[in-house]
Amino acid sequence: MNINHLHTIAPELVFGTEAAFRVHYWGSISDHRTHPLHKHSFFECCCVTSGEGGYIESGERYPLYQGDIILSRPDAWHQIESADGIGLAWVAFMPEDRTGGEWARNCRRLTEPDRVVVPAAAPSLTASLWQTLRTAEPDAIQNRTLLESIACSLLLSCFQTFLNDRGEQPKSAASKPRESVLLHKARLFIRDNLSLRIKLQDLAEYLHISERHLSRLFNDELGMNFSDYYRQVKIRTATALLESTTYTLEQIAANTGFYSVHHFAKSFKLATGTPPGQWRKERMAPAAR
């Protein structure tokens, strides 16, 4: 068990400009037996690494099995018991409020005694990060910045594991962020591959979604269909090339995915009201004088 990697972490961990933690201690044991009922003035997050036992808090007993995650809250009387021995890894910490706002509200919410044990049957980010720290070889995490980042992520994951998993997911988290990521990926692909003459079918296959789904993304999030957006990007890129390069119209047409110079000229005039050759002359004329 390599949880002792954590011993290189400073007493205080700061994540970004908002979240800060004071770490009091950390460690592990492979054969923990029943200890006395007690309480802390801070949080203690434990991962069951082997064996079976029970966690008692406020008079209620929760069975413990390998992979379960426990969060003891400040001022809560608690006890971990096991007749045959149970393996544990733990970290004791206290979040510090430096900026107020959402972070401060989440810190207060974490003290609410609503959920204290997350079973292994409900996979959590906290369990995954504990596993990463436990199983890494001693030389695998030598970079201090990387180690501190993993440790900070472990502490922050407690908020997700013990708050969001209680059915308090943001209402917009169901699909919108995932769709926005897909659209962003689609727009990047279009921008970087204009010369390929992209079709809706090709883009949908690249994103591993249906053409109908992709069409809906463009309409719902950009207010236009794929063809209109694609044409807009091609015209905008062609305009930039006309203004900033000495490329021929043939070269610009090829680089922006038009089938021919004629197709490019017709589309450009339809979009801007001016043929591309004339547009370039008019824009470059003042610089020539």
pLDDT tens digits along 44-88: 999 998 999 999 998 889 999 998 999 999 988 899 999 899 999
According to DSSP, residue 139 is labeled: T
Per-residue pLDDT reduced to its tens digit, 173-186: 344 444 468 888 99
Per-residue pLDDT reduced to its tens digit, 241-287: 999 999 999 999 999 999 899 999 999 999 999 999 999 988 876 55
- Specify burial of residue 270 (Cβ count, 10 A radius: 0-12, 13-18, 19+): exposed
Whether 130 and 154 have beta carbons less than 8 Å apart is answered as: yes
Q: Where in the chain is the domain with CATH 1.10.10.60?
A: 176-288
Q: Where in the chain is the domain with CATH 2.60.120.10?
A: 3-169
Whether 252 and 242 have beta carbons less than 8 Å apart is answered as: yes
- Which pTM does this prediction carry? 0.55
- Domain 176-288 belongs to what architecture? Orthogonal Bundle (1.10)
**pLDDT number for residue 2:** 38
Q: What percent of the chain has pLDDT over 70?
A: 80
Candidates 3.40.50.300, 3.40.225.10, 2.60.130.10, 2.60.120.10; CATH matching 3-169: 2.60.120.10
pLDDT of residue 134 exceeding 80? no
